[in-house]
Amino acid sequence: MSIAASEYALRVDDKELIISNPQKPLWPEAGVTKLHYIHYLIEVSAYLLPYMKDRLLTVIRYPHGIHEKHFYQKNLPDYAPGWIATKHWEGTLYPLCNDLPTLIWMANQAALELHVSFHLGHDETPTDLVFDLDPSTPSFEPVREAALHLKEVLDQLQLPAYVKTSGASGLQVYIPIERRYSFAETRQVSQFIATYLVEKYPNLLTIERLVKNRGTKLYIDYLQHWRGKTLAAAYSARARPEATVSTPLKWDEVPHIHPTQFTIHTVPARLCEIGDLFQPLQNPKQQVSLDTILQFLNRK
């Protein structure tokens, strides 16, 4: 990769991109301008891009920074360069963020959050089984507690689990699975696990979809894991004042961390120090079978 910067031009690989308003504050409290954001994405691109490659991309754009109007964008705009990879899926022309020039082009559009599907654009087979732990109160302690309870159950089921911050207020737990199950089958498994946890910890957890009916309980969201739905990619920034980043964790970090520790400012150095903790999700040898659990559930 060769990058040559001028006041308004940035050469990324073999593409020249014109960066508009590079000094525009996007995360004002964190001191992050558009140019800072682009530099962050360049630094982490080798880690971020594998979790976006060939997946349907939905971005959240904040043209004037995180405190101004924003909007979700799935369709690739007509004015986008022709070299961006795309996939028509259910009436929408989705971009596929498969390379660094595409990533930086999205950043120049003030796409501050990068959300990707649970399957590839050309194949609706889920690549992982995922739980999203969504708190109902500002406290992060219930999220830690719920994640550790979930980890205990997954260990008992001999399912490997990898955890990351959402970059917002929760945690997300990924299980790499063999790529031969339908979303209906993964939902059987996730619903079983979530329901078991709610029955075991009824004062802490809920699977109630309506926010108004959850009270202070943490929501175990297993329904988000479905075709066409998305979560923030690992190492995507989030539109929070601290410029937080969705960051993979070690399980022994979970009791001690807070999501606000992991930001555009801190994550590149963390990656240099400990590497990509989600890398096993990219390794076919780490993918596990759900057959035993599904056989048990189908006998019930």
Convert 166-178 to b/e letters by CB count within 10 Å (16 or more is b). Answer: bbebbbbbbbbbe
CATH classification (class only), 128-226+281-299: alpha beta
Check if the beta carbon of residue 78 is closer than 8 Å to that of residue 93: no
Convert 65-102 to b/e letters by CB count within 10 Å (16 or more is b). Answer: bbeeebeebbebeeebeeebbbbebeeeebbbbbbbbb
% the chain with pLDDT above 70: 97
pLDDT band at 31 (very low <50, low <70, confident <90, very high): very high
pLDDT for position 3: 42
pLDDT for position 8: 74
Q: Is 211 a residue whose pLDDT tops 80?
A: yes
Task: Over range 230-248, report the average pLDDT.
Answer: 98
User: At 129, which amino acid appears?
Assistant: L
Check if the beta carbon of residue 77 is closer than 8 Å to that of residue 124: no
The interaxial angle of helices 34-48 and 100-108, nearest 10 deg, is 150
pLDDT for position 173: 98
- How far apart are the C-alpha atoms of 3 and 20, rounded to whole Å? 17
- How far apart are the C-alpha atoms of 261 and 30, rounded to whole Å? 12
DSSP assignments along 84-151, one per residue: S-EEEETTEEEE---SHHHHHHHHHTTEEEEEEEEEETTB---SEEEEEEE-SSS-SHHHHHHHHHHH
Check if the beta carbon of residue 38 is closer than 8 Å to that of residue 107: yes
- How far apart are the C-alpha atoms of 230 and 207, rounded to whole Å? 19
Instruction: List pLDDT tens digits, range 50-96.
Output: 999 999 999 999 999 999 999 999 999 999 999 999 999 999 999 99
Q: Is 300 a residue whose pLDDT tops 80?
A: no
Query: For residue 130, how many other CB atoms are within 10 A of its CB?
Result: 21
Segments making up each domain of the chain, as ranges: 9-122+230-273, 128-226+281-299
Check if the beta carbon of residue 58 is closer than 8 Å to that of residue 72: yes
Instruction: List pLDDT tens digits, range 112-123.
Output: 999 999 999 999
DSSP assignments along 34-62, one per residue: HHHHHHHHHHHHHHHGGGTTTEEEEEEE-
Check if the beta carbon of residue 80 is closer than 8 Å to that of residue 30: no
CA distances, 152 to each of 156, 251, 292 (Å): 6, 11, 18
Instruction: List pLDDT tens digits, range 13-23.
Output: 999 999 999 99
Q: CATH number of the domain at 9-122+230-273, please? A: 3.90.920.10
Q: Is 152 a residue whose pLDDT tops 90?
A: yes
Spatial neighbors of 276 by CB under 8 A, at least 6 apart, are 47, 234, 248
Q: Is-same-fold flag (9-122+230-273; 128-226+281-299)?
A: yes
User: At 244, which amino acid appears?
Assistant: T
Task: Over range 116-140, report the average pLDDT.
Answer: 97
pLDDT for position 4: 41
Task: Over range 222-240, report the average pLDDT.
Answer: 97
pLDDT for position 7: 60
Instruction: List pLDDT tens digits, range 250-296.
Output: 999 999 999 999 999 999 999 999 999 999 999 999 999 999 999 99
- Owner of token pair 């959050």: 113
Mean pLDDT of the chain: 96
